[in-house]
Amino acid sequence: MKISVKVKTKAKEQRIEKIEENVFAVWVKEPAQKGKANAAVIKVVAKHFKTAQSNVHLVAGLASSQKIVVIKI
């Protein structure tokens, strides 16, 4: 499954919200430094889809707030 994710960093709480079919907004507490936010996005997405973090991969947008995530379910 491939989804598009809009990431918002430095949030008060971590959460995920479905915007459209295969489009999500993700709020993470971590700042966008040294991959901390990317790791948090993987964790939040894996928890939402009830899969292991190793099944979630960022394939585009590593340095952007718009990301493409592939989930192996």
Helices (H), the chain: 36-48
What's the whole-model pTM score?
A: 0.89
Q: Are 38 and 52 in contact (CB under 8 A)?
A: no
Taking only the tens place, the pLDDT of each residue in 4-50 is: 999 999 999 999 999 999 999 999 999 988 889 999 999 999 999 99
Sign of CA dihedral 59, 44, 41, 24: positive
Residue ranges of domains in the chain, CATH in brackets? 2-71 (3.30.1200.10)
Q: Are 26 and 8 in contact (CB under 8 A)?
A: yes
Instruction: For residue 44, give the amino acid letter.
Output: V
What local confidence, expressed as pLDDT, does residue 2 receive? 93
